[in-house]
Structure 1
C-alpha cells in the first residue's frame, strides 16, 4: 500500500475512524519520545503514583476501541495491561542492560472491565536467581476487582561488555 493509497482511505473515513487513526499516529510518535512499546502507547498506559515501594501501579483509560461487542473491555486487553504492569515493575528492578521474558501467565477474570479506566497494581511474589514470580490485580476506577494475574519471568543477563 502506498502513501497515496493510505491518504485516499483517510479522506473517506468517518470522524470516529479518524480518531482511531489519530490515536495510532500519536502512539507511533510517543514511542520516539518515551521509548515505550507501541501497544502501551496505543492503549494509553501510564505510570501512577504508588504509596508502597513494593508495588508498581499503572493505568489505562477505557475507550471505545478496547470494548468488545458487549461494551466491556476485551479480556485480552485486560490481560495485556496486567502483563505490562508486571513487566514494567521488573524493568525498574533489574539492570538496564539485562532483559526479561514472560515464561507463563495465569489470568483469572472476576468482573467485567467497565468504568472510565483500569488500574493495575503489580508486585514481586518471589525471586530466585534469574526467575521472578509476579502478581497483579487489575481494578476499575470504582475499585471493583476485574482481574488477578500471576506470571513467571526469566531474567536474561547480558555481559558487561
Structure 2
C-alpha cells in the first residue's frame, strides 16, 4: 500500500494503515527495547517519534518513497503512561497554507487509553535526489 525509504521508521517497525492528505494512521508493536527505566512503560521519545511520523506523513505525500515535508515545530502532552503491546497514532490536518501545514496527532495504547496529544507545524520541501 504505502512505500517509504525511511530506515529509522522501518527499524522501529512502524506500520502504516492509512496515509492521505487528511491524515495518517500507524501502529507500532512495542518491544522491550522501547521501555524506559520503569519496566513496561514506553519511553516518551518513542511516543513522540510516532506522533511526529504520522503528522509528517500527512503533511505531504511521499514521492518515490522519499519524504516531502520536514518538522518545523512540535509539541507533545503526555497524558498517561504508554503501556501494552501496541501503540496507535492518528493524525489529522488542521490547516494547510502554501508550504506550511499544521497538524494534530493522538497516540493511544491498545486498551484505548489516550497516551499523548501532539501539535506540529511542518514545511513542504523538494529534496534533491542524487
TM-score (norm. length: structure 2): 0.83
What are the residue-to-residue correspondences of 1:149-160 with 2, within 5 Å? 149-157=118-126
Given that residues 98 and 155 in structure 1 are in contact (C-alpha distance below 8 angstroms), is that contact kept between their aligned partners in structure 2?
no
The CA RMSD over aligned residues, in Å, is 2.5
Match of 2:58?
Answer: 89
Higher relative contact order (CA 8 A, sep 6+): 2
| Structure 2 CA distance for partners of 1:98 and 1:70, relative to 1, 3 Å | closer
Gaps of 5+ in 2: none
Match of 1:63?
Answer: 31
Larger Rg: 1
Match of 2:108?
Answer: 139
TM-score (norm. length: structure 1): 0.68
Runs of 4+ in 1 over 6 A off after TM superposition: 94-98
Equivalent residues, number: 124
Larger strand proportion of the pair? 2
Match of 1:114?
Answer: 83
